[in-house]
Every structure is written in C-alpha cells, then in structure tokens.
Amino acid sequence: MTGVLVVDDDQHLLKALRITLQAHGYAVETAADGEAALIAASRNPPGIVVLDLGLPDMDGAAVLRELRRWSTAPVLVLSARHGSSDKVDALDAGADDYITKPFGLEELLARLRALLRRAPEAIEPSTVDTPEFSVDLGRRMVTRNGEPVRLTPTEWSILELLVRNPGKLITQQQILASVWGPAYEKEANYLRVYMAQLRRKLEADTGNPRHLLTEAGIGYRFRP
C-alpha cells in the first residue's frame, strides 16, 4: 500500500483528501505546516507527497528543497497561484507536477497514478546492508556487528549520499557540494579526513577497504 503524505493548512481540504485517498487504497498521513511535514516524512517515508505551497510557517519551496535533500519521492504541488513563474519555480525546485486550486479530485488521482507509475521505487529501501555493517536510512543509524556506531553529522551526510547510490561513482565535487555547499568544491582535503574517519569506524581493514572505495582523481563509490 502506497503511502501518501498530504501537506496543507486547510483543515477541510485535508480531511476531504484523506477520505478520498483512503477510499482509493492509499495510506494517508497529513501535516498542516512545513515542519510537521518534514518530521512526518522522515519518520515514515512516503511513496508520494502532495504539497500545498501556501503554508503558515515556511515557504513551500523551502519544504520542497529540504525534502529533496534526502528523499526522491515524487511531489505534486498544490497552489492557488496561477502565475507562470510560480509553476516554473516549484517545478525547478524539485516538484514533479503542479496543479492549481480549485482542482478536480479525479484529476488529482489520475496525476498521482501517473507519477507513481514512473516511481516504482515507491518503497525505497530503508536499510542498506553489507556483510560487515548496516545503514538504516530512515532512523539515521549505523550498526556494525549488531553494535551501534556513532557518526557525526558530517560523517552521516557523506555516508548517506554514497549509500543511496550503491555502486555509483560520486565525484568529490558532488560530495563537497552536497555536504558543505557548492562554494566548497575545492576543499578536497575535508573529504580525505572524513573518508578516513568513516573507514576507521566501518571497515575491518582500513588499508584495504571493501565497501568505501576510492577512485583516484575522481571521487568515491559505495559497494554493497
């Protein structure tokens, strides 16, 4: 059963959407503001998100960007604004679709189906395992031989980026831009320090890493 996270500050609309979506077989979770949305999404990662741009606490686009930092779930944006630039901004910020209020429920449902058709990974793996250690993306926790491993925020950010792209080579620039920001793309020194730290905590033989691999001159790669 696919999980839908509906974010809107209009209680009536929220209730109507909940009933409709549940009637069509979705597991619905709701949030009334941006902060609650991000908490709910991290606690119980949804298969798809319906997001109203007009939230009381923070800009809808900000919620979208924050969500995109760690979630690839499709996002359908609701908005009362018909302006072209609003749509362009939301879509370029990571939204997958944009419909304006008022909208027909049938259309909303059809668009959700179309989006979910493209994202078969609706239930993305919440944990990634290797013979030596296990990474729980949802709980932000790493265990090794059953024992929890303490990671600093920076260590986790790097490990998460690598683990979410198993086997894929991530360039140093990508890691630096993702963890420290695009302005730090030259600071390859940081990376060396933190990769050594991660290997010391996760690899049996830091000299011959089996899962956190180096590609000299390019970047790093996680092998499961």
Partner DNA sequence: CGGAATCTTGACGGATCCTTAACGCCGGTG
Partner DNA sequence: CACCGGCGTTAAGGATCCGTCAAGATTCCG
153 binds DNA (CB under 7 A): yes
56 binds, among a copy of itself, DNA, none (CB under 5 to 8 A by kind): none
Smaller CB separation from a copy of itself, 11 or 165: 165
φ, ψ of residue 100 in degrees (nearest 5)? -100, 145
Q: Minimum Å distance from CB 43 to a copy of itself? A: 25
Q: Percentages helix, strand, coil for the chain, rounded to the nearest 5?
A: 40, 20, 35
Among residues 42, 26, 24, the alpha carbon closest in space to that of 34 is found at 42
Reading across the β-sheet that carries 48-52, which strands appear in turn? 27-31, 3-7, 48-52, 75-79, 97-100
Sign of torsion over alpha carbons 199, 204, 208, 210: negative
- Which range binds DNA by CB under 7 A, 3-11, 26-34, 55-63, 188-196? 188-196
End-to-end CA distance of the chain: 28
CA distance readout (Å), 115 to 21, 43, 69: 15, 22, 19
147 binds a copy of itself (CB under 8 A): no
145 binds, among DNA, a copy of itself, none (CB under 5 to 8 A by kind): none
Instruction: Report how many residues bind DNA under the rule CB under 7 A.
Output: 26
Q: Minimum Å distance from CB 14 to a copy of itself? A: 21
76 binds a copy of itself (CB under 8 A): no
173 binds DNA (CB under 7 A): no
Q: How far apart are CA 197 and CA 213, in angstroms?
A: 13
What crossing angle do the helices spanning 60-68 and 84-92 adopt, rounded to 10°?
20
113 binds, among a copy of itself, DNA, none (CB under 5 to 8 A by kind): a copy of itself
List the one residue from 57, 187, 223, 224 that touches DNA (CB under 7 A).
187
φ, ψ of residue 196 in degrees (nearest 5)? -60, -40
Residues in contact with a copy of itself by the rule CB under 8 A: 74, 84-85, 87-88, 91-92, 95-98, 104, 106-107, 109-111, 113-114, 117-119, 138-141, 152-153, 167-169, 215-218, 221
Residues in contact with DNA by the rule CB under 7 A: 150, 152-155, 172, 180, 187-190, 192-197, 199-200, 206-207, 214-218
